[in-house]
Homo-oligomer: A and B are copies of this chain.
Amino acid sequence: MKPTRKQEIIQVAASLFKEKGYSAVSMRDIAQAMDIKAASLYNHISGKQEILSTLILEVAKAFTNKMSAITLETLTPLQKIEKVIEIHIDITVNYSENIATLNNDWMHLEGDDLERVVKMREDYEENFRSIIKQGVAQGDIKPQHPEVILFSILSTLRTLYLWNEKRGKMDVNVLKKDMVSVLIKGIA
Contacts and interface: CB of A to CB of B under 8 A. Distances in A.
Interface string A168-188: 001000110011011111111
B108 A24 contact: yes
Contacts of A7: none
Give the dominant DSSP class at A's interface. helix
Copies in the complex: 2
A113 to B, nearest CB: 17
A71 to B, nearest CB: 19
A107 B144 contact: no
Interface residues of A, number: 44
Interface string A146-165: 01110111011011101100
Interface of A: 19-24, 78, 104-105, 107-108, 135, 140-142, 144-145, 147-149, 151-153, 155-156, 158-160, 162-163, 166, 170, 174-175, 178-179, 181-188
